[in-house]
Structures are given as structure tokens and as C-alpha cells.
Amino acid sequence: MMLSGLDLPKPLIEAYGKKGITELYPPQEECVKKGLLEGRNLLISIPTASGKTLVAEMAMHHHIAGKVNKGPSKGKCLYVVPLKALASEKYEEFSGKGVRIGIATGDLDKRDEYLGQNDIIITTSEKADSLLRNNTRWMNLITCLVVDEAHLIDSENRGATLEMVITKLRYLNENMQVIALTATIGNPRLFAGWLEAEHVSSEWRPVDLKEGVFYSDTIYFEEEEKKIKTPAKEDDTNLCLDCIEDGGQSLVFVSSRRNAEGFAKRMAKALEKSGFSDPALEDIQKKLEAIAETDMGKILASCTAKGAAFHHAGMKREQRHIIEQGFRDGYIKVISSTPTLAAGLNLPARRVVIRDFLRFKGGEGMLPIPVREYRQMAGRAGRPHLDPYGEAVLIAKGRDMANGLFEEFISAPAEDVKSRLDDESALCSQVLSLISTEFVKNNDDLVSFLKRTFYTFTNKKSSHLSDIVEKAVSYLEAAGMITKIDDRLFATDYGNLVSHLYINPISAEIISTVLREKQKTLLEIKRLGEVEDIKASDIGDLIKTEPAKTTKSVNPVYSIDSMKQVKSASAKSMLKKTAFTPEDISAVFSDIGLLQLLCKTPDMYTLYVRKDDLPVLESFYYAHEDELWMEISYDTMEDDFRVIKTAMLLDNWISEIGEDTICTRFGVGPGDIYNVVEGMNWLLYSASRISYMMAPDLKISVSEVELRMKNGIKRELIPLIKLKNVGRVRARRLFNNGITSPLKIKEANFDKLSAILGQKIAGQVIKQVEKEYGNINNTEIIINNTEIKKEHTLREE
Ligand code: ADP
């Protein structure tokens, strides 16, 4: 089927033509035949690189051109991806074809109304969920929803969110076309049935894929055998050397970062020994060296110089980009990777070696990876137009094992997908958001809305559904996030806040319980005679059960509505009068205590504890026992230590310990630091919003840690970090030179400031201080021909 014969906008056909795409691949043709351009829902499960994205793109352009809908919005499309990195990849792919593309992956409590101006909005499932929770208007105008990697509805952590996003959007936009793109799954009919979709499935691939098992010196494919040379001792190295000698590149999937790094080192040596070299690798090495701050970064640079690299989530984003590009350009010959690379990134290679097909699962030992994951890795084999075929190879230790691997992976059926809404905490969070956004008004609404989910579609017993809904509602009511008046369910201010912040209600409860407890202790320390009878918890309770009256916005400290409920005059006066000294606060507040609390919530990913960590963790525990807020119990020791380790790392980060030292101390990579800091930033922001409502006297202390976490600084740098263009490094330099506050900047002489910050930044900082802290009238300084006046005294600070 020729593209030119389809009813598609010209710019799109021209853009495809420029890439040499003029005719549809067979599975794409089937999609068109099954109603792609007539607004039909489709579940498309075809192999990687067989043109799924292109199919979705055609449908979206068809909508945007107004060929499907006649309503107020002729065509607006939402493209949901599982990872932020993929959102950027798709953004680039969709750009430049005559339609407006937007990308929504930012903060989770923003509505991003402006994004509604776009024709296609690319987003992650979490961001889509948060846009829905924030009642973003343009979400009601979506006419075409594309769900990339839709089988992730089965993902343990994130599947429930994706399921609710699909359900809510279908509820909001009745005639919306749904296009679900999935890997091969075991129960496509059931999934398609839920989506009311036609199913398109095919094994067709643009490049042939041969799957086989390597044993001794031979790859056993289904229909042929291939003997290879074995110059090295290890099978994995030999498989890569053989492929490179034949003009190809290899990807090697291993189970851990350590294995990925270990393999790349070994492969680099083998490549050097084989005489392989390429001058272009020197440039890549230089780029990597320039950003290598840790041993890991240096190892990466030196391996890459020989043509072998590794790829995992512990690396910096720039490092990963350089490696990906070096591989796409054909210079890097081998990448060893953890399975994360298989999840979506478009980085094919002639030969994919699936070396570690067993994975450790806590409590169950080493288990085979799911077939779906194997397929995803194997699917990376073969670059369209570049390789004559792709090869996916498993490595066996013996003949018997080789047979087993065929059965276990190559000829095994893919697993079924199932709903993850049965997870209580995920359900609680979704129920809260349904009530908060007024999607539902009472229990009956709730049950009938949830009947639209994949969960109910696959578990038809609705009595079970009523039970779990009842349970979630009771939990939320007891936590004070919702309240029932007659039959009606309302979210309280607190409930609305939690829903907007997009944190798990269980996390919010953990945080608010402890913070309220601290606030109460503070009040007890003060023991204001006149208000002794009012306890902080009483006030907290009043706030908790007060339904939000008008808008969805969250009222600040002791909201006006709630204040009206505080009947006692003495309680009001207490709220006004309580002023605590830093000593009072430090008696109840500690940085590490707060970090421990937040690391303990289900929203925080915590670090794995190695054997080597135990002595350090124990001594840290004894040294800081008094500052910790949560007890360590024998039963949950393993989790508690993970929490302590993560909190310790974060404490190091806000104590300005160098990245390299943190990496060595905790056995992590710079990417891990970035990930835990990013996760903690959101929780600190949430905690500061919760404290504003529940524990107002701790708000400043929480916000300070929030600011320090964002910048990786000690408390003493806070006054300086607030200045524009002053980050952690410059602030530290200023401080160490005796310039400890904006006032000191005003007092400093310009030459001294320029020596510390450079002329340009010094000029900008002076200007800023001058603007924010008073006029400068005495001295004139010339910087880059710009006059900047400087004053020596502050009017007020
Ligand atoms: P998937 O989403 O299934 O991984 P893509 O849609 O990204 O696959 O397509 C993979 C590659 O094949 C892309 O480079 C794309 O431009 C190209 N491609 C897609 N459809 C065709 C076609 N009909 N003819 C030629 N190339 C195509």
C-alpha cells in the first residue's frame, strides 16, 4: 500500500518521502485496513522497529487535520510514553512535520494549560495522571490517545497509573480513538476486548531475526549452526569479536552495573589485543574524560577509547547520550548494558547477546527473566537498512542447558498482562484522586467508574470490587483525606493537597503523622499557660475533617474555613502567639530525622545495602540515634537499613561531600545520586506543603532542607544560594572568602568579587544585590563597558 494513496496531510507524506518511506510495511497496511484512519481503536502488537510509531503518527495527523472529529476540538492527540527519555526521543521524531508538538514531563503539580495549544502532547503516564488530577482543561479535548508500550499496564510500580489514565481519558472523551502499542503479549484478545479495539498482530520484521543459543564454539539457531572463532577465554567476548570481525556491532545484556562495567573492561582489552582501533574514538574519549568526575567516568572513557562501553542508570545523562551517539555512528562496537536499555531506547545492533538471563529476586533466589523481557532484548537485534539480519544469542553452559533455553525463552509464549489495581496503596491513591477531582461523588459512582477498568474487565466479580473500594474509602476517611456527608464523598483540604502533590496517601500519612507529632511536642515545650488545654492534634483533626468548600486550591496554614471551626478564642490566640526560638525547633527537628522519615515512605526509592555497608550503617546509627525519627525494628531491619543508607547519602549531599567520595562511600554511580536527590526533592516539596498545613512551625526548617537538597549545600550557604547565577560552587567560593551573605557582597570590593566569580558574574551579582537590597551610589565600576553603580551601605536587610 502506497502512502501517497492515503488520506494524509501533504507535509507528512513529504516528510516521510524525504526519509525514503513511500510504502507501508505489511503490518502497517493491516492497521489501515482495520480502521486506523477511521477512528477505530487498535491494539497493535508487532515487533520492535516494524513501524508502530509511524502508524500512530499517521493516525494523529489524520485527527489534527480534522478528518475524524467534527466537535469543538477537531483533533488533539496525547502520546503516552513510559520514560521521560523516550518523551524527548519522540518529540524529536514528531517535530518538523507541520504540526505543533508539546512535551509534558515536568513538575507533577502543575496544570500546564499552555501545552493545550499543541496538536500532539507527549507525556509520561504519571504526568498524564497528574494533569487529570489537576483538572487540566485540554485533557477533555483529546480525540486520539496513543499508549506506547501499553503492556506496561502490567508493571508492578506504574501499571495502576497507566490503567487509570486510559480509563479516565476514555470516560472524559467518549469518541476518542485509542491506539495501544505493545510488545507481544499472551492475552491480546482480552486486552483488546477491554479497549474495544481491533487487534493487529504480526511477527513480520524489517530485518530478519535469528534467535539461537551459543554453546562451546557454535551458535545453534533454529535452522542453522554457526561455528565461530574463540580467541578469548570467555564466550561473551568471543561472540562480540566474531560479530565485529564481520562488520557488525554487539549489545550484551547483563544483570548488574558491576557486570556491565566488568564486561566493558574485559572487552576493551580483547579489542585492543585483536588490533582493532579507530581514531574517531579518541574524540569520544575526550568528551567522556571532560565530564568524568568519578572513577566510573574515567573507566568509561578509557574503555570507550578501545571501542567498548557500558550503559546503565548509574551513569550521568550526558555520559549515556555520548555512548548512544557513538554507537549509532558505528564507532563504539560493543555496549554492555543492564536491562534498562532494552526498555524502549532505539539502539539496535547486529548481534544481541543475552548473557544474564537469571535475576535475583529477594526471597526467591535466582529466577529466569520474563519471556517478554527476553523478547524486548532480542528485538534490539538487526539495524534496518544496515544489517542483513539480526541475531539474538543466549549463552549456555552445557548442551542440556542449551535445549532448556530454547524452550524457556525462544519458543515460549509471552506472558499475559494483568491489572495492577489490586494493589491497595495504588487503589487508595486513585480513589482519592477520583474524589478530589469530583470524577465521582459517592460510593456508587466510584464502583460504577471502576467497572470501566481493566481490573474489573478481568475480574468480573463486582462484589469483590465493592469490598476493596469500601476498604480504600475507609482508609482515606480515617486519615482525614476524605469525608462523608450523608451519601456524598468530599476530599478535605488535606486530601486535595495530597492528590495534587501526586504522592501516595500512605506516604502523606507517614509524613503528616510525624510532623504533627513534632508540632505537638513543640507546643508542649512552650507550654503557654493560657492555651494549655488546646493540643496541636486537635487543630490538626479539625483541619483534616473539613471538606474543601469551593475551589480545588489548597488553603494555606490553618485555612480560613478550618479556622472558623477553632471555636476557642484561646486556640486562636495560641496560633498567633506561638513563636519558637531556634533552640526550641532544634529540640524536635533534625535533618537526618526528616530524611529518614521521607525515605521511609513508599514513594521513595531506597538504595540496596551491601555487606560492606553494614559496619558503617551501624556506627552511623549509634552516633545519630537521638536525631533519628523512626525506630529501627528487628522485623524490618533490612528495609530500615536501606532507608538509613539512602538518608545518609542524602545527608552527605547536603553536607557538600564530593560526588566521587559519595560514590565510593556508598557504592553508587553519579546517576544514582541524581535519582535519589530528584526523588527526595519532590518529597521535600510535598513535606513542606504538608507542614504548612499540619505543622506550621516546622515549615521553615523543612523548606530549608528542601532548598539545600535542590542545591546540594550546607545551611550556611542559604543566603547566598538565593542569588541568581550563584550555584553550590560559587556560593562555596564566596563563603570561603569571607563573603557569607548578600550584605557582605555589598561591602566587598569589586576586584575581590571578580577574583572569586569572574568579572561578568560579579557584575551581575552586584546588580542583583543592589536591586534587591538598596541603591548603590558611591562607587562606579566599569565592567565590559557596562556601568554598574555600587553602594556601601544597606538601607535595610
Ligand atoms: P517501532 O515504533 O515499531 O519501533 P518505528 O515506527 O520507530 O518502529 O520504525 C522503525 C524505523 O523504521 C524508523 O526509522 C522508521 O522511520 C522506519 N519505518 C517505519 N515505517 C516504515 C516504512 N513503511 N518504510 C520504511 N521505513 C519505515
The rounded Å distance from CA 24 to ligand 1 centre is: 9
494 membership: H or E segment, kind and range: helix 493-501
Give CA separation, 235 vs 256, 663, 697, in Å. Answer: 18, 31, 63
Give me Rg for the CA atoms of the chain. 29
779 membership: H or E segment, kind and range: strand 779-783
The answer to whether the CB of 599 falls within 8 A of the CB of 646 is yes
What is the DSSP code string of 701-720?
A: HHHHHHHHHHHT--GGGHHH
* Beta strands 389-395; 351-354: pairing state: parallel
What is the average per-residue pLDDT within 228-245?
Answer: 93
Assign 3-class secondary structure to 207-270.
CEEEEEEEECCEEEECCCEEECCCCCCCHHHHHHHHHHHCCCCEEEECCCHHHHHHHHHHHHHH
| Residue partners of 729: CB distance under 8 A and separation at least 6 | none
Best CA proximity match to 606, nearest among 703, 705, 672, 509: 672
Binding site membership of 19 for ligand 1 (Cβ less than 6 Å): yes
The pLDDT, as a whole number, for residue 535 is: 47
Which of the two residues, 14 and 113, has the higher pLDDT score? Answer: 14
Which of the two residues, 33 and 573, has the higher pLDDT score? Answer: 33
Q: Is the pLDDT of residue 797 over 60?
A: no
Binding site membership of 314 for ligand 1 (Cβ less than 6 Å): no
Residue recorded with cell 512535551: 103
The grid cell for 542 is 479539625
The grid cell for 162 is 497507566
Whole-number Å distance between alpha carbons of 435 and 489: 7
3-state helix, strand, coil in the chain (%, to 5): 55, 15, 35
H-helix segments, 414-453: 424-436, 443-450
Evaluate the CA torsion angle 236, 242, 245, 250 in order and state its sign: negative
Best CA proximity match to 686, nearest among 500, 547, 560: 500
What residue type is 198 in one-letter code?
Answer: E
To the nearest whole number, what is the mean pLDDT of the chain?
A: 84
Q: Is the pLDDT of residue 184 over 90?
A: no
Nearest-atom index, ligand 1, CA of 28? 23
Whole-number Å distance between alpha carbons of 637 and 616: 15
Whole-number Å distance between alpha carbons of 660 and 148: 37
Whole-number Å distance between alpha carbons of 2 and 349: 29
Which of the two residues, 2 and 790, has the higher pLDDT score? Answer: 2
The rounded Å distance from CA 52 to ligand 1 centre is: 7
The pLDDT, as a whole number, for residue 32 is: 96
The pLDDT, as a whole number, for residue 431 is: 94
Helix axes 670-694, 699-711, angle to 10 degrees: 160
The rounded Å distance from CA 574 to ligand 1 centre is: 67
Q: What is the pLDDT of residues 369-399, one digit of tens each?
A: 889 889 888 988 998 878 889 999 999 887 7
The rounded Å distance from CA 55 to ligand 1 centre is: 9
Whole-number Å distance between alpha carbons of 86 and 719: 38
The answer to whether the CB of 544 falls within 8 A of the CB of 556 is no
Binding site membership of 53 for ligand 1 (Cβ less than 6 Å): yes
The pLDDT, as a whole number, for residue 67 is: 80
Report the C-alpha dihedral over residues 179, 183, 188, 192, rounded to 10 degrees.
Answer: -10
What residue type is 683 in one-letter code?
Answer: L
Binding site membership of 658 for ligand 1 (Cβ less than 6 Å): no
The answer to whether the CB of 98 falls within 8 A of the CB of 9 is yes
| Residue partners of 106: CB distance under 8 A and separation at least 6 | 112, 127
The answer to whether the CB of 406 falls within 8 A of the CB of 214 is no
Binding site membership of 50 for ligand 1 (Cβ less than 6 Å): yes
The pLDDT, as a whole number, for residue 70 is: 62
The grid cell for 133 is 488530577
Please give the domain boundaries of the chain with CATH numbers for all domains. 3-201 (3.40.50.300), 208-410 (3.40.50.300), 512-711 (1.10.3380.30), 718-790 (1.10.150.20)
212 membership: H or E segment, kind and range: strand 208-215
Q: What is the pLDDT of residues 251-296, one digit of tens each?
A: 999 988 888 999 999 999 999 999 998 999 999 999 999 988 888 8
DSSP state of 2: B
CA-nearest residue, atom 20 of ligand 1: 51
Q: What is the pLDDT of residues 610-645, one digit of tens each?
A: 888 888 888 888 888 889 999 887 778 888 999 999
Residue recorded with cell 456508587: 444
The rounded Å distance from CA 126 to ligand 1 centre is: 27
Which of the two residues, 115 and 269, has the higher pLDDT score? Answer: 269
Q: What is the pLDDT of residues 413-449, one digit of tens each?
A: 889 999 998 888 888 999 999 999 888 999 889 988 9
Q: Is the pLDDT of residue 547 over 60?
A: no
- Partner residues linked to 209 by β-bridges: 390
Residue 185: CA count within 13 A, CB half-sphere: 24
CA-nearest residue, atom 1 of ligand 1: 49
The rounded Å distance from CA 334 to ligand 1 centre is: 24
- Partner residues linked to 120 by β-bridges: 77, 101
Report the C-alpha dihedral over residues 368, 374, 378, 379, rounded to 10 degrees.
Answer: 180
What residue type is 100 in one-letter code?
Answer: R
Whole-number Å distance between alpha carbons of 373 and 384: 21
For ligand 1, mutation pick of 21, 54, 58 (most atoms within 8 Å of CB)? 54
Whole-number Å distance between alpha carbons of 3 and 15: 11
Binding site membership of 51 for ligand 1 (Cβ less than 6 Å): yes
The rounded Å distance from CA 120 to ligand 1 centre is: 19
Q: What is the pLDDT of residues 634-689, one digit of tens each?
A: 778 888 999 999 999 999 999 999 888 998 889 888 888 888 998 999 999 999 99
ipTM above 0.95, yes or no: yes
530-535, Cβ contacts within 8 angstroms, sequence gap of 24 or more: 530/570, 530/573, 530/574, 531/570, 531/571, 531/573, 531/574, 531/577, 533/568, 533/570, 534/568, 534/570, 534/571, 534/574
Q: What is the pLDDT of residues 204-213, one digit of tens each?
A: 888 999 999 9
The pLDDT, as a whole number, for residue 541 is: 43
The rounded Å distance from CA 166 to ligand 1 centre is: 25
Stretch among 109-118, 319-328, 588-597 having the lowest mean pLDDT: 109-118
Whole-number Å distance between alpha carbons of 263 and 275: 18
CA-nearest residue, atom 10 of ligand 1: 49
Residue recorded with cell 526528616: 594
Binding site membership of 54 for ligand 1 (Cβ less than 6 Å): yes
Binding site membership of 106 for ligand 1 (Cβ less than 6 Å): no
Residue recorded with cell 481519558: 169
What is the average per-residue pLDDT within 139-167?
Answer: 93
